[in-house]
Amino acid sequence: MKAAVLHEVGGIPRYEDFPDPVAAEDEVIIDVKAVAVENVDKMIAAGRHYASKKFIDELPAIPAFDGIGTLPDGALVGFGNIRPPYGALAEKTVVPGNSFVPIAEGIDPAVATVLGTAITGMSIKTAAGFVRGETVLVQGATGVAGRLAVKVARLLGAGRIVATGRDDGQLREVQAIGADTVINTAVSDEALAQAFTDAKGDGYDVVVDFLWGRPTEILLRSLIPESFAFPKPTRLIQVGESAGTELTLAAGSLRTSGVEIYGVAKGLSPETMGEMSGQIVTWAQSGELTFDVEKVPLSEIETAWQRTDLRGKRLVVVP
């Protein structure tokens, strides 16, 4: 079969022949139809992720650990838990017999690869208890997950959406898909703090934070009241760390601001995951929620792996 083959940690996968997987008694062969290439896949391939040892301990190996494909009977499924070295970026892969779920009818395989990313936006409900009409701030709204979070917040009935990013052109695109106000974080600390203050209105009810680091540190400082007050709670959901893995948290940022910080997994359970997934699928089927994907053939994996021009689109490899 053809596959994207990684020969060294930190290298670029090459389009090559690779032996077909052979299923053990409790495994199933998947014919791959679409695979989203995400930052986590590149981090694993570069040896910079805690799961790197599991997936690339044996080289050569095929990157990516989940995707969309068909079972031997033709049923379309989402799969994961691949058996290394047979990653998802190939014509075929092999997974345990319980490591796939059916994909709803009417969902394009390329779109199905991004459904899980959209579920992150639903954390405003599962983690923060979002109530219709509240103000949502999306920190890092120009990426794939951030744009979907803006769309999901709008569909859930946000009263106002504020979005941040570093590129004015992309921020205009984010406004076009549902943000009411945008903030460019590529300014001085003082200017950014003022921008957060000017945009907050009656306050940010929920913050979906894909950034952490400097922008979130400045945001939290900006929420400290200047005089004694009974602050309106701000529920911050920590999702990503694209602007930094750490920040300095001033005591006053929690003591008097009303800020509550949650991890994105708060409130998740098999029941809530099923409910949130069902809502995303319903929106996708109706066309209310749209997904921006850039399809490329597996044969172009070397070039696609290095692309930096996607501007909020998810790279999806189609064997």
pLDDT of amino acid 191: 98
User: Which pairs from 310-315 meet CB under 8 Å and 24+ separation?
Assistant: 311/142, 311/170, 311/173, 312/142, 312/143, 312/144, 312/146, 312/147, 312/170, 312/173, 313/144, 314/36, 314/38, 314/113, 314/114, 314/117, 314/144, 315/36, 315/37
pLDDT of amino acid 258: 86
pLDDT of amino acid 81: 92
State the average pLDDT over residues 23-42: 94
Helix (H) or strand (E) holding 175: helix 168-176
pLDDT of amino acid 255: 84
Of the candidate ranges 45-59, 116-130, 188-202, the one whose mean pLDDT is the lowest: 45-59
Q: Report the alpha-carbon distance of residue 319 to residue 314 in Å, rounded.
A: 16
Go through the domains of the chain in sequence order and give each one's CATH number: 2-114+292-318 (3.90.180.10), 117-263 (3.40.50.720)
Helix (H) or strand (E) holding 41: helix 39-45
pLDDT of amino acid 229: 67
Find, among 40, 233, 24, the residue nearest to 131 by Cα.
233
Q: Report the alpha-carbon distance of residue 171 to residue 22 in Å, rounded.
A: 47
Q: Looking at mean pLDDT, say which of 48-62, 136-150, 222-236 comes out highest.
A: 136-150
pLDDT of amino acid 13: 97
The 10s digit of each residue's pLDDT in 185-200 is 999 999 999 999 999 9
**SS3 call for 236:** strand
pLDDT of amino acid 171: 97
pLDDT at residue 231 is higher than 80:
no
